Amino acid sequence: MKTEMDFEDLMEEAYQLPNGPAKLGFLEEAARVADVNGMVEEAYEARSEIVDVATFCGYPMKALIAFSWQLGKFDQQPEQYDEETLLWSYKWILGKMPDFPEISREKIMELLEDFGARFKSYGYSERSYWYYRFRIFMDFGELEESGRSYDKFRTLDRDFMSDCEACEQDEIMRYFMLKGDDEKVLEAAKPILKGRMSCAEIPHLTLSEILMPLYRLGRTEEADKYQVKGYRLIKGENDFVQSFSEQMEYLTLTNPSKGIDILEETLMLAADHEDAYAKMMYYAKAAPLLRRWAKRKSRKAIACVCQLPSRMRESRVICSSSQITLRNMLRPLQPSLISVTETHMYPR
């Protein structure tokens, strides 16, 4: 049976899979096998992979758990492990912390300082610290403090531990977005849209972010183009749940029917997601879309398949095009998701 495989087999299986829950399953199993057999270095290796995979496919908590373990081991024997990889992961972890409602502001600030101190201790540029400070204060909604960090980080030199230019530029866009300065958002987006800056996640994120600014400036023709292009890049990837919400927000105003298509295609990805913030944004943008859809005279049925986390099992359901009604779809989007089949008639 598959579960009796040894560490190497499990890792190999994992490496053959694309990022996603199945790959994570193998990696977690590998970490467990390593733990049980006291193979510390292997356990560390498996967790490095977990952090990487979980960060980019919607499991920030799993990433945090694996990283915490790694950091503890690292501190015990720093000479044993590669600090670059670990501290690079720290950036991902730090960036996700504000998305957890359970983690207090105080703790996040402590993490930021810990992060800064570690970067400093290895002689890396302080740019990363200030850049993440800039991001975290944006997450807190404290734009003045964020602005001060923005001015600071841009004067510091980049080094190989800095986030790539494209990612930084995307965060700068977000800053102007939060400030409500659509013109500036688009100006900041220019190098990305022109293709001068790109990476694994950019322009994927960017193309959805600029839709509403373009809409507000009346430039919907451009926005439509970016919408198509942007969705093509993120389709089916659950790392982009928040981008789906931005797509839906724009389409609610311009082309709800297309918005519903996106809802159908992405609902399952969002429901499975571990990041509370991305999920909240998703539901927040799906609700107005569905409300608007409900008002239409002629509308197609909505087809979707979703599975809810076990905590909401009593409402877990499958909906098929023939059975779903709009009312059923709308209700779930408020507290949690509910959908119905004939065989699963849970209390309404």
Partner 1 sequence: MTASNEYRFQVNLSGMIQILSNHLYSSPKVFLRELMQNATDAITARKEVEPGYQGEARIELTGTGDQLTMMVEDNGVGLTEADIHEFLAMIGQSSKRGQQALLDGETSFIGRFGIGLLSCFMVSHEIVMLTQSIKGGPSMEWRGKPDGTYTIRQLDTQLSPGTKVYLRCTPDAAHYFEAEYVKEALFYYGALLPYPVTLIHDGVQSVVNQDSPIWLTRPELARSCRADVLAFGERLLGEKFQDFIPLTTASGRTGGIAYVLPHAVNLNAKRSHRVYLKRMLISEKAENILPEWAFFVKCLIWTDELQPTASREHFYENEKLEEVRSELGDALRMGLADMAENQTERLQKLIRLHALSMKALAVQDQAFYAMIHRWLPFETTRGHRELGELIDEGDTLYYTGSIDEYRQIHHVASAQSMLVVNAGYIYDKELMAMLPVILNHVQTERIEPDEVSMTFTDVAPAERNQYYDALRLADSALQRFRCRAEVKGFKPSDLPVLFTLSQESSTLRALEKASEESTDLFSSVLGSLSAGINSAGYSTLYLNVNNPIIKRVLTSPDNQMTPIAIEMLYVNALMMGHYAMNKQELEVLNQGIVRFIDWGLRANTNHEGDA
Question: Exposed, middle or buried, 307 (CB in 10 Å: 0-12/13-18/19+)?
Answer: middle
Distances (CA, A) of 195 to 121, 160, 182, 199, 222: 35, 22, 20, 10, 16
Residue written as token pair 């779903």? 324
- Burial state string for 144-179 with b = 16 or more CB within 10 A and e = fewer than 16: eebeebbebbeeeeeeebbbebbbbbbbbbbbbbee
Closer of 112 and 214 to partner 1 (Cβ) = 112
- Angle 143-153/165-178 helices, nearest 10 degrees? 150
CA distance 126 to 276: 30
Question: How does DSSP classify residue 340?
Answer: -
**Min dist. Cβ of residue 128 to partner 1 (A):** 18
Rounded to whole angstroms, how far apart are CA atoms 44 and 82? 11
CB of 132 to partner 1, least distance (A): 16
Shortest Cβ 102–partner 1 spacing (Å): 5
The least distance separating partner 1 from the CB of residue 79, rounded to whole angstroms, comes to 17
Helices (H) and strands (E) in the chain, counts: 17, 2
CB of 232 to partner 1, least distance (A): 7
Nearest alpha-carbon partner for 278 in 141, 101, 25? 101
Query: Which amino acid, one-letter code, is at 299?
Result: R
Residue 296 or 344 with smaller CB distance to partner 1: 344
Residue 319 CB, nearest approach to partner 1 (Å):
8
Q: How far is the CB of 179 from partner 1 (least distance, A)?
A: 30
- Quick one: which of 333, 273, 282, 329 has its CA closest to 303? 329
The site for partner 1 (CB under 8 A) is made up of: 1-3, 16-18, 20-23, 25-26, 28-29, 32-33, 35-36, 61-62, 64-69, 71-73, 75, 97, 100, 102-104, 107, 110-111, 114, 232, 236, 268, 303, 305-307, 309-311, 313, 316, 318, 320-322, 341, 343
Q: Is the CB of 296 or the CB of 313 nearer to partner 1? A: 313
**Shortest Cβ 73–partner 1 spacing (Å):** 6
Closer by beta carbon to partner 1, 112 or else 333: 112
Helices marked H in 154-255: 165-178, 182-193, 204-209, 211-216, 220-234, 241-254
The CA–CA distances, whole Å, from 275 to 84, 162, 279, 311 equal: 26, 24, 6, 15
CB of 345 to partner 1, least distance (A): 13
CA angle 161, 167, 173 (to 5 degrees): 135
The residue among 71 and 338 lying less far from partner 1, judged by its C-beta, is: 71
Kindly tell me which of 138 and 317 has the beta carbon lying closer to partner 1: 317
